[in-house]
Amino acid sequence: MAGPRVIVVAKRTSYQRFIEEEGDPRARLLIKRRDPVVRSWLASHQEHQRTLAVVERELERARAQTLVLHRAHAAFDTSDAALVIAVGGDGTLLAASHNVGSVPILGVNSAPEHSVGFFCVATRRDFRRYLQLALSGELRARSLSRMAVIVNGRLRSKRVLNEALYCHDSPAATSRYILTVSRVSEEHRSSGIWVGPPAGSTAAQRSAGGKVLPLASEQLQLVVREPYTPKGKRYRLTRLIVSSETSIRVKSKMDESSLFLDGPYRKTPVRLGDEIEFRISDEPLSVLGLRGRTRREGDGTR
């Protein structure tokens, strides 16, 4: 009898990419010199590979039908899957989550000494127990709110877990836009804006001066990066938390700007006059094992 279908999404380590796959001469030289910028690459890679081997072995032992993807940003279909397993850190789980609807996801921190893993409750040492609980339906899940992003009336994504960044294409240029929340509308000049649900509030939003939101909340947070306030003028919409019934709208006053969703890999060009809407999604993410975990303000989710 065929077992449950499980999709494993494994990160590609820096060592794997630059040394094993690309044979980058600069990276090889830095490794040979034991340069501090690459000093942890090999140890992190080896620990990740050991963890991935444990995950594959335990899934085989459980008679699961397993698909292993060795790219965090690979696209996959979960329509007949019972479980998604992200092997890496929070960044791997975040990348994989954009392919995940109602199927639960289990995070495995493959190299705890080298990667952030708040959303990754398992390691290779306790993976067997977590897998057994997940496949039997005994491992409790926490439902995390995600954000929907609409550009010019068309849904761009409803699976944003961390945050969206909207800014000029050049980091040295001023971002110009019209920001509207409820009945308040302001023309801004700044370095761009962060908008995100609670799961991302300890990362970029907090670093830019935002608040850490409770994981269970269904709110959105707006944080404007380095707003330029002309003398005698005061902005109302620079740091704001809105309810699930309220959307945040932006109209571009730039012809060379971009919208980034959950990091640098999901980029949408935004032109002059384009409109963006941010609101709470109707599709939360079910993350296994998070119940009872407490996130410190200093934790990030990148």
Helix (H) / strand (E) containing 85: strand 83-88
pLDDT band at 56 (very low <50, low <70, confident <90, very high): very high
Question: Are domains 5-139 and 147-280 of this chain identical in fold?
Answer: no
Domain 5-139, CATH number (from 3.30.2270.10, 3.90.1010.10, 3.30.300.30, 3.40.50.10330) = 3.40.50.10330
Give the pLDDT score at 300.
44
pLDDT band at 299 (very low <50, low <70, confident <90, very high): very low
Q: 147-280 architecture in CATH?
A: Sandwich (2.60)
| 65: β partners | 5
pLDDT tens digits for 229-259?
888 788 999 999 999 999 999 999 999 999 9
Contact assessment for residue 106 and residue 84, using Cβ atoms and an 8 Å cutoff: yes
**Structural domain boundaries of the chain?**
5-139, 147-280
Give the pLDDT score at 231.
80
- As given in the structure block, the two tokens for residue 34 are 């034991």
Give the pLDDT score at 302.
38
pLDDT tens digits for 95-109?
999 999 999 999 999
pLDDT band at 116 (very low <50, low <70, confident <90, very high): confident
pLDDT tens digits for 141-184?
999 999 999 999 999 999 999 999 999 999 999 999 999 999 99
| Average of per-residue pLDDT values in the chain | 93
Buried b vs exposed e over 260-297: b needs ≥16 C-beta within 10 Å?
bbbbeebebebeeebebbbbbbeebbbbbbbeeeebee
pLDDT band at 301 (very low <50, low <70, confident <90, very high): very low
Which of these, 251, 259, 177, 249, lies nearest to 220 by C-alpha position? 249
Neighbours of 257 (CB within 10 A): 25
Phi, psi of 69 (to 5 degrees): -110, 125
- How far, in Å, CA of 13 to CA of 132, rounded? 27
- As given in the structure block, the two tokens for residue 154 are 């068309």
- As given in the structure block, the two tokens for residue 80 are 């007949």
Contact assessment for residue 118 and residue 299, using Cβ atoms and an 8 Å cutoff: yes
- As given in the structure block, the two tokens for residue 222 are 């707006």
pLDDT of residue 292 exceeding 60, the answer is no
Residue 218 or residue 298, greater confidence: 218
CB-neighbour burial class of residue 83 (10 A; exposed 0-12, middle 13-18, buried 19+): buried
Whole-model pTM: value is 0.91
Give the pLDDT score at 290.
87
For residue 57, give every residue at least 6 positions away whose Cβ sits within 8 Å of its Cβ, in sequence order, or none. none
